[in-house]
Amino acid sequence: MRKKNNYLLLLSFIFAYLSTNTPFLYPRSLVMGMIQFPRILKKVPSIRIYYGGKIVNSHTHEGIAKVTFEVSKNNRQTTFYLLVTEQIQYQVKTFADKSWQSNTIDYLQLPPQQSYKFYRLELLPDALETMDTMEILKQQTTQTEKDNRYHWKVYEEQLPTTGKIPDETIVVCYFPEAITIRNGGSKLELPAIVIKHNIIDWMGSEKKLHEESIKLQIASLDTDTIHAPTKQEIKQDQQRTLIINHIT
């Protein structure tokens, strides 16, 4: 009888775990992002990117004037948030009992009065773009994923007055006035973040652009301390070098 009770207790624990942690059990994959700079730049600035509590590894491509990066998603995830702002801060968890002190980070936050651009990205089948709501629901229940090509639809939104940054937000520490983003991409690639062609005129010179970009990197050092680096594994053979970003 005791063994039976222990068995039932184990089953109830497993059920409780599955019901509260199901999203973490989905297989995870990588989706690529890109920041496209004007071709007239002689050198591409480095950019700090955060996602999921980690510093995202980014790769600068001099010949094509772009920065690429990868973030992880579960295979059922169809929404990302994207925040472009110069820097972020964090809010420490507080308690009603003031005698308790916490070093736990409650959430990331936009500094007061700081400019930003904030977007919600929704992954949609291409065919749904021209359908009404009822037709969309019908197609979603009858079509398989193999029948559709996908793209990301971009919605510009506002952060709450508290400045709280939602989970699943890709944070790009750069000048929000200098970027634009449009619908596009695929299931494997986010829509490109495009740096405006007049950024050199806006900054005054390419030298000034790099100086200000370096200042953003320095300003990110404090936020780096609460983000873990993304683990990488380098594999080589006689023909190629593979750099693997670990998802977890």
What are the pLDDT digits (tens) for 32-70? 999 999 999 999 999 999 999 999 999 999 789 999 999
Q: Left, alpha or beta for 156 (phi > 0: left; psi -120 to 50: alpha)?
A: beta
pTM over 0.95: no
Residue 126 has a pLDDT of: 85
| Residue 82 to residue 120: CA distance in whole angstroms | 6
DSSP-derived letter for residue 103 is -
Question: Which two tokens mark 195?
Answer: 């740096």
Q: What are the counts of helices (DSSP H) followed by strands (DSSP E) for the chain?
A: 5, 16
Residue 10 has a pLDDT of: 45
| Residue 82 to residue 90: CA distance in whole angstroms | 17
* SS3 call for 164: strand
| Residue 166 to residue 107: CA distance in whole angstroms | 8
Pick out the chain residues at pLDDT < 70.
1-27, 96-102, 128-148, 231-248
Residue 141 has a pLDDT of: 52
Using an 8 Å Cβ cutoff, are 109 and 90 in contact? yes
